[in-house]
Amino acid sequence: MLEQYEEAEKHVIEYTDLTWFELLDEIGHQEVKKFNIWGRANLYGLSLKKGNVNILSDYADFLTEHPNEILPGMLTIIEAANKHDFCIDELLHRFSANLSSFHDQQNPINFSQNFHFWDQKTEYEFRKGNTSQAIDQLLLCLDLSDKMTYHQGF
């Protein structure tokens, strides 16, 4: 959030590969695997936030392999697209069914990420001149902020 991407990258690399831990039981191996997935996702995100659009295809493939990362990953992607002004229409289409399904989930974390995604999507569509789509996204944001009682978002 402070845009200290190089510094953040150093720390993310440290927890991405924890296979050096000895005497791990099954639960330990599962945790190491989770940190590897989160670390890889975060490295993709940091690279994209620095403006490296060349990793989009690899990042999209990663998200396809790890569906639990689609919402946070697409939030990162759309934030970077808005910041660096690049097109992600193909990715939005590719993950449209996944993104639409997140709206109905009752998980508070998903509500927050979902709200921020659609808020960024609204900005993306307005920036591209797609006023009708942007207004649809804005209405979705209003609905989510109401469900979350997120008055600041409203």
Q: Give residue-wise pLDDT tens across range 24-51.
A: 999 999 999 999 999 999 999 999 999 9
Determine the pLDDT at residue 7.
95
Neighbours of 103 (CB within 10 A): 16
Residues of the chain with pLDDT under 70: 103-109, 154
The residues near 125 (Cβ < 8 Å, ≥ 6 apart) are 131, 133, 134, 137
